[in-house]
């Protein structure tokens, strides 16, 4: 646990990446698996994760992220895109996957399927879209923690225009919406932010024990 906390103290939102340093395929696959194994409500994972390597695409996306250099300088750009109007089809696909993965009859899951549908499909579309967007933050959390273990830097980014990202990547045509960006790679020696002390609330201010 001490090692985990050491890594958490090491990580920060990198402001300047070393564009010459690239993440290995092995480490990228580890980060992808950490994202894939993330928790989500009901286990539904109502989102897609887009990994952008193409430099031309990233140059276009930089303009949608207010010109932030991390978008083009980091080794990879990851976009968490929540599913829009998530409903019966997504739940049915999940139940089929569960049936095949666990080797159990689909019929035996009907009660759970009906329970999920009763809790989700009746919600207004806007509420469901907010819910699926929130799920991407859980996946981001796993990415941050796994990357810190590998001493790979991550900058989570909410500073972008989702509509522009959606247009550039054609996400709206896929029923998706850009919810979060994350740039991953290695900090540049000239990034002064890495030398700042981490500022967080004290235990007394942050925690309430009842």
Which residue spans within the chain are E strands per DSSP?
47-52, 76-83, 153-157, 176-185
Per-residue pLDDT band at 2 (split at 50, 70, 90) = confident
* 1 belongs to a structural domain: no
* 4 belongs to a structural domain: no
* 33 belongs to a structural domain: yes
* 2 belongs to a structural domain: no
Q: For residue range 44-54, what is the model confidence (pLDDT) as tens digits?
A: 999 999 999 99
pLDDT at 83: 98
**How do strand 76-83 and strand 176-185 relate by DSSP bridges?**
antiparallel
* 8 belongs to a structural domain: no
pLDDT at 104: 97
What is the maximal distance between C-alpha atoms in the chain? 59
The count of domains in the chain is: 1
Q: For residue range 73-124, what is the model confidence (pLDDT) as tens digits?
A: 999 999 999 999 999 999 999 999 999 999 999 999 999 999 999 999 999 9
Please state the pTM of the whole predicted model. 0.95
* 156 belongs to a structural domain: yes
Cα–Cα distance measured from residue 92 to residue 196, given in angstroms and rounded to the nearest whole number: 48
Say if residue 67's pLDDT is above 70. yes
Q: What's the chain's length in residues?
A: 210
Q: For residue range 136-152, what is the model confidence (pLDDT) as tens digits?
A: 999 999 999 999 999 99
* 3 belongs to a structural domain: no
pLDDT at 86: 98
Domain extent, residue 93, equals 16-206
What is the CATH classification number for the domain harbouring 100?
3.40.109.10
* 9 belongs to a structural domain: no
pLDDT at 1: 60
pLDDT at 138: 98
Q: Helix (H, G, I), strand (E, B), or coil: what is residue 79?
A: strand
Q: Which helix (H) or strand (E) holds 40?
A: none
């Amino acid at each position: 646990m001490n090692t985990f906390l050491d890594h958490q103290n090491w990580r920060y939102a990198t402001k300047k990446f070393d564009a010459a340093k690239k993440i290995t395929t092995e480490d990228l696959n580890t980060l992808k698996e950490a994202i894939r194994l993330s928790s989500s409500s009901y286990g539904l994972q109502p989102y897609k994760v887009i990994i952008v390597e193409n430099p031309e695409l990233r140059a276009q996306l930089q303009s949608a992220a207010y010109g932030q250099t991390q978008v083009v300088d980091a080794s990879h750009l990851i976009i968490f895109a929540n599913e829009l109007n998530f409903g019966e089809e997504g739940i049915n696909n999940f139940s089929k996957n569960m049936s095949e993965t666990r080797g159990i009859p689909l019929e035996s899951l009907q009660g759970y399927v009906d329970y999920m549908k009763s809790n989700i499909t009746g919600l207004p579309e806007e509420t469901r879209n907010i819910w699926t967007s929130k799920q991407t933050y859980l996946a981001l959390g796993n990415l941050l923690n796994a990357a810190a273990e590998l001493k790979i830097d991550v900058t989570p980014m909410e500073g972008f225009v989702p509509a522009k990202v959606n247009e550039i990547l054609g996400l709206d045509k896929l029923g998706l919406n850009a919810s979060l960006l994350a740039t991953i790679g290695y900090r540049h020696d000239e990034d002064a932010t890495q030398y700042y002390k981490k500022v967080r609330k004290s235990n007394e201010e942050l925690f309430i024990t009842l």
